[in-house]
Amino acid sequence: MTENRKGLDEKEARERLKRIEAFALDQDGTTYLENQPFPWTLQFLDGLRKRGIKYLFLSNNSSKSTAKHVEKLAGLGIDVSEDQVLHSGQVTLEYLKTLPGREKIYLMAVPEVEEEYRAAGFDVDAEDPNYVVLAYDLTFTFEKLEKACRYVRRGVPFFATHHDATWMIGPGEFLPDVGALAAAVTAATGVEAEFLGKPSGVTVEALLRRLGVEKDRVALVGDRLDTDIRMGWDQGILTFLVLSGKTKAEEVEGSPWKPTFVVERTVDILDYLE
C-alpha cells in the first residue's frame, strides 16, 4: 500500500474500506483486455455481490453507445444493466444537459453515439452550434476537423470526452485516442478542449449520482495512474491500482498520483474486504 493524498496510513485506509458501499471499475486493462476477460474477473464480481457491494463499470471509451458497452460485457460473460455502465460519452452528454443552449452542438462521434445523443434531444450537426464536442470518433475525417476548427476559432466552447492520447489494444499495442484527435484541433486553433471523462471531477459527480453514494463510500479500481488513480487522488477517494493493464509496479514511485493500494489482479481486492 502507498500513502495517499489525504495522508492515510494503512490502518486508516483499511478502516475506510470497512465503510465502502460501492466500487467504480475500469474496463479495458482492469476487467478485460480488448476482447478477452481476465480469468479472475467473474470471481471478483461474485465476491462483491456476496458482500452486498454495488459496482458499476467506468470507461473512457466513447466510441460505443451505452447499449454496445453492455453488449460487449455480456459477450464476455458479464451481465449488467445499462445503469451499471458509465462511459465518458455519457458523462459528457449528462454534463451538456446542464448548460444553456445545450440542444445545438457539433458532435464528432461514430454513428451509434450520434444516435444516442439524438435520442437525448441534441441536434448533433447544428449549423450554428453552441458547443463543439469530440468523442472517440473512429470515423474522424479532415472535413470534420476543418469544421470543428472553424467553429472553435469563432469562440464556440470545445469539449472532449476524455484526455487519453492512446488506447491500449494489447501488450505494447496502442491506437490514437481522443487526446490525440483533440490535439489536432488545438494545434490548428490554439484552443484546448475541456476534457470531461476520467480524471475529471465531472466524472466523479456522475458516478456518485449513479451509485447513490458519498465519496467516502466508494473506491476506484483501474490500471492507469494518469486517469483512474489521478481521479481518486484529486478527489480524496480510495483507489486500487491493478497491474493487469498498462501500469507496471515500478512506475508508481515516480508518479505524482499515488494509489491507496496496489494489487496484481482485481480479485486480490477481496482480501482487503475481509
DSSP letter string, 101-141: TTTBEEEE--HHHHHHHHHTT-BTB-SS-SEEEE---TT--
Has domain 100-195 been given CATH number 3.40.50.1000? Answer: yes
Q: CA distances (Å), 208 to each of 4, 11, 83, 222, 237, in order?
A: 20, 25, 12, 17, 11
Give residue-wise pLDDT tens across range 7-61: 466 777 888 899 999 999 999 889 998 788 899 999 999 999 999 999 999 999 9
Which pLDDT belongs to residue 8? 62
Mean pLDDT to the nearest integer, 131-155: 98
Give residue-wise pLDDT tens across range 160-213: 999 999 887 767 788 999 999 999 999 999 999 999 999 999 999 999 999 999
Cell, residue 157: 466552447
Q: Taking 50 as the threshold, does the pLDDT of residue 2 lie above it?
A: no
CATH, domain range 10-60+198-273: 3.40.50.1000
For residue 199, cis peptide bond before it (omega within 30 degrees of 0): yes
Cell, residue 176: 490514437
Q: CA distances (Å), 133 to each of 87, 88, 197, 201, 269, in order?
A: 15, 12, 12, 18, 36
Which pLDDT belongs to residue 12? 79
Q: CA distances (Å), 35 to each of 41, 92, 138, 225, 270, in order?
A: 13, 25, 18, 22, 24
Same fold, 10-60+198-273 and 100-195: yes
Q: pTM, whole model, 2 decimals?
A: 0.90
Q: Report domain extents, the chain.
A: 10-60+198-273, 100-195
Letter for the amino acid at 52? G
| Neighbour tally for 37: CB within 10 Å | 15
